[in-house]
Structure 1
Amino acid sequence: MQWKGRRQSTNVKDVRGSGGGGNFGRGPQFRIPMGGGGGPRRAGAGGISGIVILVILFFALRACGIDPMAILAGDPAFVPGGQQQTQTQGNQQGRPANDEASQFVSTVLAETEDVWNGIFQSLGQTYREPTLVIFSGQVQSACGYASAASGPFYCPGDQQVYIDLSFYDQMERQLGAGGDFAQAYVVAHEVGHHVQNLIGILPQFNQARRNMGEAQANEMSVRVELQADCFAGVWAYYTERKGLLDPGDVEEALNAAHQIGDDTIQRRTQGYVVPESFSHGTSEQRMRWFNAGMQGGRIDACDTFNNPI
């Protein structure tokens, strides 16, 4: 991925070396799994209505003669306030350390901001940019305590993405999922959960799951995760249109999606597969839904709630 020299997001908070401070609280986390693939994750989104509203708005704009695709291309002219304004806006809660890994995730976050600002603007809405928290070892969020072993996660309670950058080493060593675009996919997936939170998917799921049995909650959690993969694919589509991808980048992301499939993780960690315990989706499903978003960059292709998965 050709990321060096591009804009870095100001919505980054680096708490490495500070004890992993943050907001104390309890709530659902959406994380990238490293192993186990156990029970349902308390995430938030069973809201079918949220994606339906976006789809209706998408086609309503086209019916009015407005081409949302031109806005979605990521041209700074279509981003609210232009690229220069985006560089100075946001929550400047901490300057990331001047190391290449933090520069990389800051740049990837900026690229997601450009794409999702454009998409939300095309739908007549305002995109609230998330904050990315870089931590080491452990961290406290509005969703409670988390350690690096939990992997990257999104907390709806404070609208922040959390990542310990050592996870990328684990991806390469333990999962065989190396490459910078595989790493970018991780950030884009968690930002996909933020999009779900903004459009009401996550809050509705958290509410609905209280009345669900374990099997139903697991099945709905899979749909939530696959939609976040699809939203990551939407972002990848526009990133490719900008000419930022190198040969093999898409394959890196697909390999990462494969390696973190529930079935692949369970075979790796316990030697057998328990489908009823899946909470993220199989390797095949995760790759397929990422591809669904990347084939045309259309958010209406990401309706995992009204389509077979």
Structure 2
Amino acid sequence: MKWQGGRNSGNVEDRRGMSGGQKLTLGGIGGVIVLIIGFFMGGDPGELLNQMQQQQGGTTEQGEFQSTPEEDRLVEFAGVVLTSTEDVWGAIFQENGKSYPVTKLTIYRDAYETGGCGVGQAHFGPFYCPGDQKIYLDLSFNNELANRFGAKGEFALAYVIAHEVGHHIQNIFGVLQQTNAMRAKMSEREYNKISVMTELQADFYAGVWAHHATKQSDVKLTYDDIVEGMRAAAAVGDDHIQEQAQGHSSPESFTHGTSEQRAYWFKKGYETGDINQGNTFNDPSLQ
């Protein structure tokens, strides 16, 4: 993956020195699993965040900030990748006679107050907040990808950012509003299926970005990068995460899709490059 020297987005907010907020204490492995399922790589974190903060309380912590060369490099990397998504989605929207309203990427450390989804926490993983239309990322997640989930290589983090941008695309199209409206009308098990479809579509949009990135942006990808992206998608499948955390998986509780499904939809987005091919909500296999 070639990205060095690429244009850096002006829509990256580096808030690592301003992080602070309620520090939640999780009740054992069960709490960790709930957070991983609820926040890992997308979804709507606002309701769950607020509920946990009300139940457990917390104190505001503000630590001294000191960056490292590795983190500085990741910040630059994230900025170049975000610019690439802006170039690709800007072109796609323009082809359809529309203007692409960009999202912002807020990089924080430990905890940070979002503009509509409560206090984000590092152990929630990256997430998109529809309330302020921003992506939130603690850079320590890059180590989680490599060391805990086995998703190594630079493109793994690029895939994560592109996935969250995919949620922003869904928000623009009104998909998130529709799926959130279904939440109150369905049982938890029924809504989990909707959540899986939502997440897989964001994976598809990440693949669409990868399809166009080399031609339309400063990021240059090889097929090895795409294979790396598929591995990253598979590494964060619900089945893989649950088996790692508790030794078995519970399909009825899946909210993001299996490893096979996530890799499939990312690959489909990459191979087609066509946003019209990503209607996961009409896929009979996901019903």
Q: TM-score, normalised by structure 2?
A: 0.81
**Structure 2: which amino acid aligns with 1:286?**
R
Partner of 1:285: 261
Indicate whether 1:201 and 2:201 are aligned: no
Higher mean C-alpha displacement, 244-253 vs 209-218: 244-253
Q: 1:179 to 1:111 in 2, by over 3 A?
A: same
Partner secondary structure for residue 16 of structure 2: coil
Deviation at 1:273, TM superposition (A): 1.1
Match of 1:275 among 234, 251, 271: 251
Higher helix share: 2
Match of 1:124 among 88, 91, 97: 97
Partner of 1:18: 18
Deviation at 1:122, TM superposition (A): 1.1
Deviation at 1:245, TM superposition (A): 1.2
Indicate whether 1:138 and 2:111 are aligned: yes
Q: Are 2:108 and 2:139, in contact at CA under 8 Å, matched by a contact in 1?
A: yes
Deviation at 1:207, TM superposition (A): 1.2
Deviation string, structure 1 residues 146-198 (Cα, Å, up to 9, x no partner): 21000000000000000001100111111111111111000000000000000
Partner of 1:51: none
Q: 1:115 to 1:20 in 2, by over 3 A?
A: farther
**Structure 1: which amino acid aligns with 2:18?**
S
**Structure 1: which amino acid aligns with 2:157?**
Q
Q: Are 1:39 and 1:277, in contact at CA under 8 Å, matched by a contact in 2?
A: no
Q: Are 1:43 and 1:221, in contact at CA under 8 Å, matched by a contact in 2?
A: no
Deviation at 1:246, TM superposition (A): 3.6
Match of 1:260 among 232, 236, 250: 236
Rounded to whole Å, the distance in 2 between the matches of 1:184 and 1:160 is 16
Q: Are 1:14 and 1:97, in contact at CA under 8 Å, matched by a contact in 2?
A: no
Rounded to whole Å, the distance in 2 between the matches of 1:193 and 1:245 is 22
Q: Are 2:43 and 2:128, in contact at CA under 8 Å, matched by a contact in 1?
A: no
Deviation string, structure 1 residues 246-285 (Cα, Å, up to 9, x no partner): 4521111111101100001111111111000000000000
Rounded to whole Å, the distance in 2 between the matches of 1:293 and 1:127 is 19
Task: Name the structure, 1 or 2, with higher relative contact order (CA <8 Å, separation 6+).
Answer: 1
Q: TM-score, normalised by structure 1?
A: 0.75
Q: Are 1:39 and 1:278, in contact at CA under 8 Å, matched by a contact in 2?
A: no
The 4+ residue runs of structure 1 with deviation greater than 6 A are none
Deviation at 1:35, TM superposition (A): 4.8
Partner of 2:44: 43
Deviation at 1:241, TM superposition (A): 4.0
Q: Unpaired runs of 5+ in structure 2? A: 23-31, 46-66
Partner secondary structure for residue 123 of structure 2: helix
**Structure 2: which amino acid aligns with 1:12?**
V
Q: Unpaired runs of 5+ in structure 1? A: 25-33, 45-95
RMSD: 2.3
Rounded to whole Å, the distance in 2 between the matches of 1:288 and 1:241 is 23
Q: 1:307 to 1:253 in 2, by over 3 A?
A: same
Deviation at 1:12, TM superposition (A): 0.9
Partner of 1:154: 128
**Structure 2: which amino acid aligns with 1:263?**
D
Indicate whether 1:184 and 2:158 are aligned: yes
Indicate whether 1:108 and 2:81 are aligned: yes
Q: 1:38 to 1:159 in 2, by over 3 A?
A: closer
Q: Are 1:43 and 1:205, in contact at CA under 8 Å, matched by a contact in 2?
A: no
Deviation at 1:240, TM superposition (A): 3.9
Rounded to whole Å, the distance in 2 between the matches of 1:39 and 1:250 is 26
Deviation at 1:97, TM superposition (A): 9.7
Q: Are 2:43 and 2:127, in contact at CA under 8 Å, matched by a contact in 1?
A: no
Q: Are 1:134 and 1:165, in contact at CA under 8 Å, matched by a contact in 2?
A: yes
Partner of 2:27: none
Partner secondary structure for residue 248 of structure 1: helix
Deviation at 1:202, TM superposition (A): 0.3
Partner secondary structure for residue 154 of structure 1: strand
Q: Are 2:14 and 2:106, in contact at CA under 8 Å, matched by a contact in 1?
A: yes
Q: 1:97 to 1:201 in 2, by over 3 A?
A: farther
Rounded to whole Å, the distance in 2 between the matches of 1:160 and 1:39 is 17
Percent identity (aligned): 47
Q: Are 1:116 and 1:127, in contact at CA under 8 Å, matched by a contact in 2?
A: yes
